[in-house]
């Protein structure tokens, strides 16, 4: 069954390649672009990006395949999609990628938490910071271990050498934010979700010092090389690399 699926994807890819060659001969007047997207990431990145793509190439039909990152990597290697956007790290070493955005992670504290007294600013009008060391012995609410937000948080929290507790693990980052807002624990939250899921003044967010590398990376992935992508995929890849950090207006 796995062999049949793999061969079927290869046959479909050959058909798509021929169709795309005709598309390129016709100066991209017609064609189909299959784009993979991690579920939450697509909601943040794709609205503005695909609008820009469609303005330039209105006759290219776009099919979006939303799956978790591991499934997208498998579909890419099978040939079911040509490119995809997801968060690093990758599972497969033979998948190529280009980072198009780095999103910082913040320390998230309930507004009435005693640790807020340790926040500081590097200059008078700068953003608030907090020393990661102040979080020792604290109870954290984090996403589940298979989530990319959790992988990013774990990498930062390794600096505390296990000197903290994890009180709850959840699948949904919005639920984590709501629980922190109600004083049930603290967390590390990517800035994009801090902007997306607003809770008024119930959470105080703090930057983390750069020596901890407090970011998670978003990337566009492809199986072989940029040169072997079809022209529509190449164009979308270019737009992603140039404009991948442009988000919908409601996030600003």
167 — pLDDT class (breaks 50, 70, 90): very high
Residue 210 three-state SS: helix
Angle, CA 151 vertex, CA 147 and CA 153 arms, to 5°? 110
What is the C-alpha to C-alpha distance for residues 37 and 65, in angstroms, rounded to an integer? 6
- Provide the whole-model pTM: 0.83
Write the pLDDT tens digit of every residue in 105-123.
999 999 999 999 999 999 8
Mean of all residue pLDDT scores within the chain: 89
Write the pLDDT tens digit of every residue in 183-194.
999 999 999 999
Q: Does 95 have pLDDT greater than 80?
A: yes
Average pLDDT over residues 28-52: 84
Write the pLDDT tens digit of every residue in 135-157.
999 999 999 999 999 999 999 99
What is the C-alpha to C-alpha distance for residues 120 and 223, in angstroms, rounded to an integer? 45
Angle between helical axes of 231-243 and 2-25 (0-180°, round to 10): 90
30 — pLDDT class (breaks 50, 70, 90): low
From start to end of the chain, where are the E strands? Answer: 31-38, 60-67, 83-87, 96-110, 120-121, 128-129, 139-143, 165-170, 187-190, 203-206, 215-222
| Phi and psi angles of residue 56, each rounded to the nearest 5 degrees, phi first | -85, -35
59 — pLDDT class (breaks 50, 70, 90): confident
Write the pLDDT tens digit of every residue in 209-225.
999 999 999 999 998 88
| Burial degree of 108 (CB within 10 A; 0-12, 13-18, 19+) | buried
What is the C-alpha to C-alpha distance for residues 29 and 248, in angstroms, rounded to an integer? 28
Q: Does 250 have pLDDT greater than 90?
A: no
pLDDT at residue 33 in the model: 85
In this predicted structure, which of 105-119, 127-141, 231-245 has the lowest mean pLDDT?
231-245
Angle between helical axes of 231-243 and 39-56 (0-180°, round to 10): 110
Average pLDDT over residues 25-37: 72
Residue 250 three-state SS: helix
What is the C-alpha to C-alpha distance for residues 145 and 89, in angstroms, rounded to an integer? 13
pLDDT at residue 25 in the model: 45
């Amino acid at each position: 069954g796995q062999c049949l699926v793999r061969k079927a994807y290869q046959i479909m890819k050959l058909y798509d390649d021929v169709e795309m060659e005709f598309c390129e001969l016709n100066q991209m007047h017609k064609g189909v672009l299959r784009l993979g997207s991690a579920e939450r990431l697509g909601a943040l990145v794709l609205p503005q990006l695909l609008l820009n793509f469609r303005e330039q190439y209105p006759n290219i039909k776009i099919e979006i395949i939303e799956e978790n990152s591991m499934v997208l990597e498998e579909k890419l290697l099978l040939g079911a999609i040509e490119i995809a956007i997801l968060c690093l790290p990758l599972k497969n070493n033979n998948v190529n990628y280009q980072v198009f955005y780095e999103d910082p992670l913040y320390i998230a504290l309930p507004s009435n938490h005693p640790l807020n007294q340790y926040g500081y600013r590097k200059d008078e009008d700068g953003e608030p910071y907090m020393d990661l060391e102040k979080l020792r012995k604290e109870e954290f609410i984090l996403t589940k271990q298979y989530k990319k937000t959790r992988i990013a948080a774990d990498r930062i929290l390794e600096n505390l050498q296990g000197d903290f507790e994890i009180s709850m693990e959840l699948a949904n980052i919005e639920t984590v934010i709501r629980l922190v807002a109600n004083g049930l624990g603290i967390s590390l939250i990517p800035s994009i979700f801090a902007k997306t899921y607003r809770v008024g003044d119930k959470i105080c967010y703090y930057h983390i010092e750069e020596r901890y590398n407090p970011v998670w990376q978003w990337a566009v992935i492809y199986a072989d090389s940029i040169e072997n992508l079809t022209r529509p995929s190449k164009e979308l890849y270019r737009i992603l690399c140039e404009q991948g950090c442009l988000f919908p207006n409601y996030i600003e």
